[in-house]
Amino acid sequence: AQSVTQPDIHITVSEGASLELRCNYSYGATPYLFWYVQSPGQGLQLLLKYFSGDTLVQGIKGFEAEFKRSQSSFNLRKPSVHWSDAAEYFCAVGDRGSTLGRLYFGRGTQLTVWP
Amino acid sequence: GAGVSQSPSNKVTEKGKDVELRCDPISGHTALYWYRQSLGQGLEFLIYFQGNSAPDKSGLPSDRFSAERTGGSVSTLTIQRTQQEDSAVYLCASSLVARGGETQYFGPGTRLLVL
């Protein structure tokens, strides 16, 4: 069965510092990969997704993620964090070739940004 | 355009009572998903609908949970005889079709508290 691991429950960074959020998945092949962000009281917003091709994916709000097949990882990065980036971040995988469309989510990483 | 909407935003109920949660998907989206987000947990898939096909109920935690989707649009998630462990945020998402890589758009959620 598919599973998604986000090893860091909570990360704290200073504003302007770089950020990397880790995500590892367990899947028989290369799945579709997603990063979502959830601000307090809000639904989830898609940051970026990987389907195929270039393993470095650019998303909204200056985020990027790199798919590494050998490590089964899809880590999210941002070179300079802004205070408004404080939120919870979720990595998710979707079945390639599936007609079901359900997503499997990690438990999330809470990001705190210090001024 | 309008996103996914959910009502109520918050619901407080007494143990043993029934509750109904509503989701209005994005117009034209044929696939609709319900997820549950419990404290300290990731997002747990509950059920999904694709067009007029029979729903995939594989994620429903017990027979107290049911959902319907009328006219291929609005969906209602019903929890009968609520228990305290049902307290969570219930998120609805919709996508153009149910397919592994399709982007899901999430509503703001309904926060349910069972006393």
Span A41-60, pLDDT tens digits: 788 999 999 988 889 999 99
Residue A82 predicted with pLDDT over 70: yes
Q: Which of B40, B48, B97 sits opposite A102 (nearest CB)?
A: B48
Q: Which of A90, A96, A107 sits opposite B100 (nearest CB)?
A: A96
Domain residue limits, chain B: 5-104
Tell me if B101 and A106 make a contact (CB, 8 A cut-off). no
Domain A3-114 superfamily per CATH? Immunoglobulins (2.60.40.10)
Pairs of CB atoms within 8 A across A/B = 76
Residue A112: pLDDT band with limits 50, 70, 90: very high
Point out which residues pair with A58 in neighbouring strands: A64
Residue B50: pLDDT band with limits 50, 70, 90: confident
B55 to chain A, any CB pair closer than 8 A? The answer is no
Chain A residues inside the 8 Å CB shell of B45: 102-104
Q: What are the Cα distances from residue A35, in Å, to A4, A66, A106, B58, B59?
A: 12, 11, 10, 24, 22
Minimum Cα–Cα distance from A35: chain B residue: B103
A40 to chain B, any CB pair closer than 8 A? The answer is no
CA distance B106 to B109: 8
Residue B53: pLDDT band with limits 50, 70, 90: confident
pLDDT in tens, A63-79: 999 999 999 999 999 99
Minimum Cα–Cα distance from A103: chain B residue: B45
Domain residue limits, chain A: 3-114
DSSP-based three-state secondary structure for B86: helix
Written out in words, the top-level CATH class of the domain with range B5-104 is mainly beta
Residue B1 predicted with pLDDT over 70: no
Chain A residues inside the 8 Å CB shell of B98: 99-101
* Residue A108 CB-density burial (10 A; 0-12 exposed, 13-18 middle, 19+ buried): buried
pLDDT computed for residue A33 by the predictor = 92
Residues B33, B93 contacting (CB under 8 angstroms): yes
